[in-house]
Amino acid sequence: MEFQSELLRLVKGEILVDEPLNRHTSFAIGGPADFFVRPKTEQEMVAVLNLARTHGLPLMVIGRGTNLLVEDGGVRGVVLDLSKCCCRLEEWSGGVVVGAGVSVTELLDHCRRWEWAGLEFMAGIPGSVGGGIRVNAGAWDRSIGQFVRAVSGYDLSGQAVTLQSPQLHFQYRSVHLPGDLIITEVKLALTSQPSQIIQKRMEKFRRRRSHQPAGQRSAGCIFKNPPGTAAGKLIEESGCKGMQVNGAQVSAEHANFIINIGGATAADVKQLIEKVRRRVEDQFEVELQMEILVIGEE
């Protein structure tokens, strides 16, 4: 209670108590966050960080929740949403500086208008810039990490940190960042090109996504691609398409997607994931690794 009243005093942005996270994930699944906070400024964000630490409460950041499976028991402590406080979008002489709370769609729109090329392969990947960096989002053998010059943020002690590209080790769907760094801003190195060319390339990459279940409740690909093959191919060939646990179903369009066809819980999705994993392992002796992140309490 003391925490809540101090939070109310410090934050002009939105504070939601026991906020169901199914409202904040593309899967539309997830139990409540004790405190869901959307600060208005970076200073407010740091104040929340410090307050949570002094009260011994866990804190995590959520982007647009498009790569997450939130457990049915929800998330204890504070969930921070930076979409209203880390919104900078500016050019520098070699590309763009962008806030972690900006959506990838908005970033790409500005890149096109400002004639900065490189990120077109991201067209169609939902989510925020912060989330994209944290998971090194990408497609077609490219990923956002290749374009990162520097990442700024705060550690959980409230200390500002800036890391230059040699200190960042981007790998397939991951990056080595000091534990729990809250990313606030990213400097991207891009190439100057006419906007019509950029636009055409974005359209081409967007078209390549026509085999994905559009407009369905999902979290993108469930599994990482194992070396030399596609997870979706193995799942399809092991006959899992359409497999279902209650409201969770392996997509008939793209076997590496699980969709929430109505009322699915995190437990349903996890059960389905295990079924798929076992089938693929039995048939191909390949152990699939998860691409989506599971957070919260069962």
Ligand X SMILES: Cc1cc2nc3c(=O)[nH]c(=O)nc-3n(C[C@H](O)[C@H](O)[C@H](O)COP(=O)(O)OP(=O)(O)OC[C@H]3O[C@@H](n4cnc5c(N)ncnc54)[C@H](O)[C@@H]3O)c2cc1C
Q: For binding to ligand X (CB under 6 A), which residues are involved?
A: 26, 60-68, 82, 100, 125-128, 130-132, 134-135, 137-139, 182-183, 212, 218-220, 293
Q: How far is the CB of 15 from ligand X (least distance, A)?
A: 18
Residue indicated by tokens 């307050």: 51
Contacts of 194 (CB under 8 A, 6+ apart): 115
Question: How much helix, strand and coil, in percent to the nearest 5, is found in the chain?
Answer: 30, 30, 40
Q: How far is the CB of 215 from ligand X (least distance, A)?
A: 9
The partner residues of 97 in beta bridges, in order of sequence, read 90, 187
Given the complex with ligand X, which of 100 and 245 has the nearer CB atom?
100
Residues 168/161, Cβ–Cβ less than 8 Å = no
Q: How far is the CB of 134 from ligand X (least distance, A)?
A: 3
Provide the token pair at 83. 């979409």
Bridge pairing between strands 68-70 and 293-295? parallel
Measured in whole angstroms, how far is the alpha carbon of residue 77 from the centre of its chain? 20
Given the complex with ligand X, which of 31 and 220 has the nearer CB atom?
220
Rounded to 10 degrees, the C-alpha dihedral 63/65/67/72 comes to 130
> What residue type is assigned to position 288 of the chain?
L
Provide the token pair at 221. 């690909």
Given the complex with ligand X, which of 66 and 238 has the nearer CB atom?
66
Given the complex with ligand X, which of 6 and 58 has the nearer CB atom?
58
Given the complex with ligand X, which of 155 and 281 has the nearer CB atom?
155
- Give how far Cα 254 sits from Cα of 6, 172, 206, 251, 272, Å: 47, 20, 16, 5, 15
Q: How far is the CB of 143 from ligand X (least distance, A)?
A: 7
How many residues would you count in the chain?
Answer: 298
CA-nearest of 30, 19, 35, 13 to 101 is 13
Given the complex with ligand X, which of 27 and 116 has the nearer CB atom?
27
Given the complex with ligand X, which of 11 and 259 has the nearer CB atom?
259
Q: How far is the CB of 74 from ligand X (least distance, A)?
A: 15
Q: How far is the CB of 101 from ligand X (least distance, A)?
A: 7
Q: How far is the CB of 140 from ligand X (least distance, A)?
A: 8
